[in-house]
Structure 1
Amino acid sequence: MTDEQAQPADEAGLFIYGIVPSDVEPTPDAEGVGNPPGEVTVIRHGDVAALVSDVGLEEPMGRPADLTAYQTLLDGTAAVAPVLPVRFGTVVTGPDAVQDLLKAHHDQFATALDEFEDRLQYTVHGRFDEEEMIGDFLAENRSAAALADQVRGRPETESREQRIRLGEMISQGVELRREAENRALIDALTPYAVAQVPRPPSSELDAMNVAFLVATDDEEEFVRVLEEFAEQRRDLIRMRLLGPLAPYDFVSAHQLVE
């Protein structure tokens, strides 16, 4: 590598968090990624702007503290203004590159920001209680219950095939119940949400995992209906609500420019 090709280890770039309206100002205590955390600033063009902070081009990203800083900044911003999250880890060489991005896609960004005004993401995640789920499944499936009786108390080496088959049947039962619970959740909350995005399960015992885009005027009713839904299933499913959040599952500035 020649001297011209060599890149100084301490060369800095700009980490982009999200696109916001041009009148947004980061709070004085806002902290960015990096060690030590970078100061969050704004680069503006017309009606839109980008939240950025300095970061070393050679500095590794992806520490838990970095992801926390990224989410904290975007979620805090979403509470007071629309924001289009930029994919975590997006780093450019400097202010000119950010200006070029804002200039080239100004109208797309401005339109999207208008669409997300007064809208926030809530993510609903639920996990089956394993013992309750299996008990319900065996009570409803005679074949599986008979197979469970056959393997109960027998050494694993003598009942391996039956145990494998029973495991497959239970897994299929969980999958079918998960699909049904996701549909039920979406049906219950759709009247109080602008949009919804089913998310892939994060574990075999996931009962539901859905992101909802909710208008601020509907937040209270959305939460009330969700609490009723969760109460009806409290013995079978442990549910939790994440939010309000930036609309990660509904928009990305990268999606807008591709």
Structure 2
Amino acid sequence: MAQDTGLFIYGIVPSDVEPTPEAEGVGSPPGEVTAIRHGALAALVSEVGLAEPLGRPADLTAYETLLDGTVVVAPVLPVRFGTVVTGADAIDDLLDAHHDRFAAALAELEDRLQYLVHGRFDEQAFVSGLLDGNASAAALASQVRGRPEAESREQRIRLGEMISQAVELHREAENRELIDAVGGYAVANVVRPPSHELDAAKVAFLVAADDEDDFVRAVEEFAEQRRDLIRMRLRGPVAPYDFVSAHQLVE
């Protein structure tokens, strides 16, 4: 390998995993994905220029596509996006130093998949419900309705704060109810921080393959019960980003 190139590490997998010929790595042009094996483990890597900036949307998509495609056929420990080492010797050192811990983590993840349930409040429905049930908020809304923004600035700020507080309270409740409703079909869950001010629920679940159909059905039923207030999305199966990574294991 040339000195101006390094190896981008995607994840750690069992040693019998073989990248598909069509697998594309990060970079421009995309690097070829290969496996460097050590004992019972292998690292999925591709060559990148050390001076090449990584972090474009296409790079993150390539990283996730590779890992999410891998987890369908084999357990995988994601390595933090952007991890680059100088060569194969560094990969050998990593796998040798943490071989048993990586192998044990992969064994625990066998036949387990991550799903992400993400719900967002319909703004109009949420605010209407708040005004119907909160006289103070309704009074503020009446005071700002039809008035220029400059004249009702204080009232608008207070109303916005009340709406934000109400969203936070409802978000906590929705996350709890979501976990209560579908968590019985998962082996673990992690509540993610909101990515939008109107996020209603955002929870990652680790699901055993045998329970996958029941889990998806339970999520669909939960979403149907809230369809007038919350737009729910289910993403998965994906790699277990929220539950374990090679980076976490070596810290």
TM-score bucket of the superposed structures, by smaller chain: over 0.9
The alignment's C-alpha RMSD in Å is 1.1
- 2-structure distance, mates of 1:62, 1:70: 10
- 2-structure distance, mates of 1:158, 1:27: 63
- 2-structure distance, mates of 1:63, 1:236: 34
Aligned to 1:249: 242
C-alpha deviations, 1:65-93, integer Å up to 9, x for none? Answer: 11111111100100000000000010000
Match of 1:235 among 228, 235, 238: 228
Aligned to 2:189: 196
Amino acid at match of 1:14: L
Amino acid at match of 1:256: L
- 2-structure distance, mates of 1:43, 1:81: 16
Q: CA deviation at 1:150?
A: 2.2
Amino acid at match of 1:113: L
Q: CA deviation at 1:159?
A: 2.0
Q: CA deviation at 1:35?
A: 1.0
C-alpha deviations, 1:146-181, integer Å up to 9, x for none? Answer: 221222222222222122111111111111111111
- 2-structure distance, mates of 1:105, 1:155: 63
Aligned to 1:39: 32
Q: CA deviation at 1:210?
A: 0.8
Aligned to 1:178: 171
Q: CA deviation at 1:100?
A: 0.3
Task: For residue 126 of structure 1, give the secondary structure of its aligned residue in structure 2.
Answer: strand
C-alpha deviations, 1:22-56, integer Å up to 9, x for none? Answer: 11101111111111111111111111110011111
- 2-structure distance, mates of 1:204, 1:49: 41
* Count of residues in Structure 1 that have an aligned counterpart in Structure 2: 250
List alignment gaps of at least 5 residues for structure 1. Answer: 1-7
Match of 2:87 among 87, 94, 106: 94
TM-score (norm 2): 0.97
Match of 2:67 among 71, 74, 79: 74
Task: For residue 43 of structure 1, give the secondary structure of its aligned residue in structure 2.
Answer: strand
- 2-structure distance, mates of 1:157, 1:93: 58
Deviant stretches of 4+, over 6 Å? none
TM-score (norm 1): 0.95
Aligned to 1:24: 17
Aligned to 1:114: 107
- 2-structure distance, mates of 1:70, 1:165: 43
Amino acid at match of 2:183: T
- 2-structure distance, mates of 1:94, 1:160: 59
Amino acid at match of 2:223: A
Amino acid at match of 1:86: V
* Aligned ranges 1:152-231 → 2 under 5 Å: 152-231=145-224
- 1-structure distance, mates of 2:135, 2:5: 65
- 2-structure distance, mates of 1:149, 1:68: 46
Amino acid at match of 2:63: Y
Match of 2:143 among 128, 141, 150: 150
List alignment gaps of at least 5 residues for structure 2. Answer: none
Task: For residue 189 of structure 2, give the secondary structure of its aligned residue in structure 1.
Answer: strand
- 2-structure distance, mates of 1:154, 1:26: 62
